[in-house]
Amino acid sequence: MTEPSKRERVVIVGAGFGGLAAAKRLARKPVDVTIVDRRNHHLFQPLLYQVATAALSPADIAGPIRSILSNAPNIRVLLDEVTGVEADAQRVDLSSGASLKYDWLILATGARHSYFGRNEWAANAPGLKSIEDAIAIRRKILLALERAETESDPDRRRALLTFVVIGAGPTGVEMAGAIAELARRAVSRDFRSITPRCSRVILIEAGPQVLPAFPASLSQSAADSLLDLGVELRVGAPVRDIGAGYVQLSDELIFAQTVVWAAGVQASPAAEWLDAEHDTNGRIFVEPDLRVAPYERIFAIGDTANSVGLDRRALPAVAPVAKQQGQYVADFILGGRQAPFAYHDYGNLATIGRSKAVIDWGNFQLSGFLAWLIWSVAHIWFLVGFRSRVGVAISWLWSYLTYQRSARLITGEIASAPPKPQELQAFERKCA
């Protein structure tokens, strides 16, 4: 009797867009898949800023990995963290002390914040990459508003009501617009001494324009929309220093209690595990078929990889690239060698506030309310799970009609504010 052929083992490190796309493609196929992630949930990162600004709850944009893959009996999920890869032994080492043998390895480990060598800035300018980051930023924003309500010192009050976002890519632009709507419109009716004119939102960009990856006309449209929301723009203004309660530019010192970093990311340590050639952001240079040289059975995808398109230009670190790469390497594993990876670009989108967005579809560009509707439909469509789609759609509709934020919750213990030197007048309007 012939011995049944051995099923190949596929290990996927990371359950972000790329890793999950690969896992779904391999579901119910004749391979055994193990997906390893240090968190138990998949996160829809493009909407993370809406958790940070109290428009959505974390459960609206995240789902348990096990639930997402529950109908794939050939896939198991491990809650663990990879600490190294022994490529010669085809083994992955885990922080629990266990290890996994593999026949194929997909590195989809994502990215983390990059402060361009100034890691000390992280304590005062948190980035936005995880649900924990979003909840911490939400807490900081809402606490600043609460404390400004009763702050009698004008300088401290101004600092509490000044919000700075550093980096004017899509995340920074969307974050600045959302904070402006939260601080200047959504909560003004709920406070008695804060009016819309009290708050300042400042968006800082070292380059010459916001949304630098977009055409100049759309960049200008986004800038105009931000200005309409009351956001102050500082372009061509590299940050010199960030400390507790301040941001230093070349010619301006800004006092702010809330600073959000959206200026740069770097890849995970995957390149170090393999001693692989990588770029300055830690992304592994990969072959046209996304393999990591010189290894025949190791792939790097998404933010972990520095891959180029057919025009030899580096592909952007965005979700559609990661998803298409995940599907590609899964097909490679199932069907053997194929043509080089070719990214199909369906355009870039960014939203500014509750009713404006910009869309770049190459020769066709769109901005304004219609672009915002398309942006909204696209993001709801790509959410994981029917419940998330319905929940987000209802939350957005409620927010659009009422300007109310459904998730304005401050969690954790709240330290007492410093004692005030004098009693405030009841309902005193400080910025009328």
Residues with catalytic roles: 174
DSSP state of 308: B
Tokens for 263, please give them.
Answer: 């200026």
Mark out the alpha helices in 151-275 (DSSP H runs). 154-160, 170-181, 216-228, 270-274
Tokens for 206, please give them.
Answer: 């070292």
**Residues 191, 144: contact at Cβ < 8 Å?**
no
DSSP state of 45: G
Burial profile 136-158: b = 16 or more Cβ within 10 angstroms, e = fewer: bbbbbbbbbbbbbbebeeeebbb
DSSP state of 87: T
- The secondary structure element, H or E, covering residue 67 is helix 65-68
Distances (CA, A) of 162 to 182, 197, 329, 344: 13, 11, 46, 41
Count of positions (residues) in the chain: 432
How many C-beta neighbours within 10 Å does residue 246 have? 17
Distance (Å, whole) CA 155 – CA 163: 14
Distance (Å, whole) CA 369 – CA 425: 42
Distance of CA 334 to the CA centre of its chain: 31
Distance (Å, whole) CA 241 – CA 67: 44
Which is nearest to 375 in space by CA: 358, 396, 394, 397? 358
